[in-house]
Amino acid sequence: MIWAGREAPGGDRTGFLVEWDDHFGDPPRPATKAPPAEPFTNSLGMNFVPVPGTQILLSIHETRKGDYAASARETEGVDGSWSSPNYQGVPVSTVEARAFCDWLSRKEGRNYRLPTDREWSVAVGIGDREDAEAMPEFLHAQITDHWPWGTSQPVPAGAGNYADSALKAKLPLQATIKDYTDGFAVTAPVMRFPPNSLGLFDLGGNMAEWCEDGFNKERRHRVLRGGSWFDQGPPYSSWRLRDFPGSCRFYFGFRCAVEVAAPGNGTSH
Ligand SMILES: [Ca+2]
């Protein structure tokens, strides 16, 4: 096995889920220094761009080890498995991803969080084709003619880091995309493949990205979008993965969103 699940920190998984669910319902923190809706670079050098039709800026890249290290140094009890030298990305659970966003929010006085499933759909270009009120469960794999790189098939060369011949060479029994080579067996450094029209890199492939939402009303599972280096599909833009919030696999990562200032509410940054 080249990936490994691990239990949520703090012991019993079920108990932890209950505790986390309580936290999940917290109201948003007040945005004291929300940036305007224009490209923005934060204190860690993370770059954000607007996602038209939403009230967020979205990081153009998945969260990098260098970004995460800053919070890990200052946070007690962080599980060190995110720093595995075998992977370029930051494999974390959604609990840990949210903790990073909370840390960054406290550090900068801005409202950082994971994108919602809806915001992720808008970012990838299918927002106008989905019911904005529907749960991810009912949107999963419903649009079958759109991928993060567009609509062409088969997957064009250089589209992203998916399960390719490099992974096949490492794991001969692993299912991979036929005749596709991106050169990375596992995670790649961010921004090695072309961005989409909004300037967002690696929405498809590399790390599957946690979103805020529960997969359905039961909320036992959270949503991940975009597929990963482990996917041979590769998945449609409408594809959703789901897993427990405390689950961590080495193809799970995240991308940060920051809430923007309301129009006319100019704030410093
Ligand atoms: Ca690959």
Ligand 1 mean position to 185 CA, how many Å?
5
Average pLDDT over residues 52-68: 95
How far apart (Å, rounded) are the C-alpha atoms in residues 148 and 4? 26
What fold is seen in the domain 31-153+190-259? paralog of FGE (formylglycine-generating enzyme) (3.90.1580)
Ligand 1 mean position to 236 CA, how many Å?
17
Per-residue pLDDT for 267 more than 70? no
Q: Name the pLDDT band for 81 (thresholds 50, 70, 90).
A: confident
Ligand 1 mean position to 102 CA, how many Å?
31
Ligand 1 mean position to 92 CA, how many Å?
19
Ligand 1 mean position to 64 CA, how many Å?
18
* Angstrom distances, CA of residue 55 to CA of 193, 218, 263: 26, 26, 10
pLDDT at residue 168, rounded to an integer: 96
Ligand 1 mean position to 24 CA, how many Å?
33
Nearest to 174 by CA among 254, 228, 243: 228
Average pLDDT over residues 14-32: 45
Single-letter amino acid, residue 179: D
Q: pLDDT tens for residues 88-133?
A: 778 889 989 999 999 999 999 999 999 999 999 999 999 999 999 9
Share of the chain above pLDDT 90, in %: 70
